[in-house]
């Protein structure tokens, strides 16, 4: 008897799994997610408290100690990620693979999160260092590694980028158009506030977003009429991106529901006596003539199409009210088909 031994994971592979995957069954993976989230929250909270004279004057040493400890922890994490990244086939080269990993978005976020501290230590007299301290807020993006909700939103934005770009172009077009009209309507009555189309765009942004600061507003009847129309128009235009993201988010949630349905998917399928699901026996043999083989293939395709129709009907009947997206129904029917054919081919 031949014994197949499962390859034992190396230390590097085990650490990579803990760092890169959020596995609820792995205690170390959950602990890593929890510790990073807590440290990130503490770091951002400390940064916010430093901007308050009440805390920065009374607890300067404590806030500085917190920053040193957290920066040290994130630096260690950053170095470990560089070490283990070669486990990923995309970065398997010991030198070029790590250099390639260093320019990935998440690696850059990790670097930016610790860079301000070291810049402040090395160049304390430079004026721009105070501005770079704001980069510590990039640590908030580290939570995206461990938050499924944030990853879902980012995934939806990427998936709907074409629709969002189209909406942005519409907003820019409307902004330029209405600002030009308002400039023509108000430039004579208020030359200091509507001195150019570029200056009038501030009014356009404020009105389209329905913020209405009140610092710039029309005084002529034509300008007021145009302003009212633009305000109503802005409600619909700026509702488009929210609707696109909401629909994409709903689709993503439905897809995840499909994946979470308990399998095997073919468990509840009962095939009627009228439906032939077993592949044609002639299709399995190789000693028949070409004509017989073609006939066997035709029979197999015909039988497979019957199975597929049956799976689609089953998916619609069982999950049609649960999943509104037709594509998800089709995907689930395909899962049913694959599981059904796999069972009957055994």
User: Model-level pTM greater than 0.75?
Assistant: no
Residue 276 within any structural domain of the chain: yes
Domain that holds residue 209: 161-240
Residue 55 pLDDT level (bands cut at 50, 70, 90): confident
Whether residue 168 is found in the same domain as residue 288: no
Q: Tell me: the pLDDT tens digits for 154-175?
A: 788 888 888 899 999 999 999 9
pLDDT tens-digit readout, 230-264: 999 888 887 888 888 888 888 877 776 655 543 43
Q: What is the pLDDT of residue 265?
A: 40
* More confident: 283 or 19: 19
Q: Looking at the structure, do residues 15 and 123 belong to the same domain, yes or no?
A: yes
When divided into structural domains, the chain yields a total of: 3
d(CA 321, CA 161): 29
3-state helix, strand, coil in the chain (%, to 5): 75, 0, 25
pLDDT given for residue 279 in this prediction: 46
CATH of the domain at 122: 1.20.120.350
- How many residues belong to the chain? 346
Provide the CB-side half-sphere exposure for 148 (13 A, CA): 7
* CA–CA gap between residue 109 and residue 140 (Å, rounded): 9
Asked if residue 167 and residue 142 are part of one domain, the reply reads no
**Quick one: 43 and 106 in the same domain?**
yes
CA distance 307 to 318: 16
Q: What is the pLDDT of residue 50?
A: 83
Encode pLDDT of 168-208 as tens digits.
999 999 999 999 999 999 988 898 889 999 999 999 999 98
Tell me, what's the pLDDT at 5?
44
According to the model, what pLDDT value does residue 180 have?
94
């Amino acid at each position: 008897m031949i014994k197949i031994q499962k390859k034992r994971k190396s230390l590097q592979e085990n650490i990579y799994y803990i760092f890169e995957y959020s596995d609820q069954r792995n205690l170390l993976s959950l602990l890593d997610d929890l510790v990073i989230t807590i440290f990130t929250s503490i770091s951002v909270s400390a940064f916010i408290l430093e901007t308050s004279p009440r805390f920065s004057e009374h607890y300067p040493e404590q806030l500085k100690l917190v920053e040193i400890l957290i920066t040290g922890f994130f630096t260690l994490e950053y170095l470990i990620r560089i070490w283990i990244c070669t486990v990923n086939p995309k970065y398997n080269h010991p030198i070029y693979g790590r250099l390639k990993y260093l320019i990935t978005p998440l690696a850059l976020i990790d670097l930016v999160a610790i860079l301000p501290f070291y810049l402040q230590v090395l160049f304390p007299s430079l004026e721009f260092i105070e501005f770079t301290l704001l980069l510590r807020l990039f640590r908030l993006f580290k939570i995206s590694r461990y938050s499924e909700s944030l990853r879902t939103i980012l995934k939806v934005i990427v998936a709907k980028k074409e629709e969002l770009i189209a909406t942005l172009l519409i907003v820019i077009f409307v902004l330029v158009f209405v600002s030009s009209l308002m400039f023509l309507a108000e430039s004579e009555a208020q030359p200091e506030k509507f001195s150019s189309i570029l200056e009038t765009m501030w009014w356009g942004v404020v009105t389209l977003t329905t913020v209405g600061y009140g610092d710039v507003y029309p005084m002529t009847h034509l300008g007021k009429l145009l302003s009212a129309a633009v305000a109503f128009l802005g409600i619909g235009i700026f509702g488009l991106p929210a609707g696109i993201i909401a629909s994409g988010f709903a689709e993503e949630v439905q897809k995840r529901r499909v994946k979470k349905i308990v399998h095997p998917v073919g468990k509840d399928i009962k095939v009627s006596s009228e439906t032939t699901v077993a592949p044609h026996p002639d299709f399995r043999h190789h000693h028949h003539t070409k004509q017989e083989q073609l006939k066997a293939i035709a029979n197999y395709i015909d039988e497979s199409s019957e199975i597929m129709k049956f799976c689609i009907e089953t998916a619609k009947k069982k999950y049609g009210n649960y999943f509104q997206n037709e594509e998800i129904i089709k995907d689930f029917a395909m899962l049913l088909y694959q599981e059904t054919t796999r069972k009957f081919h055994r």
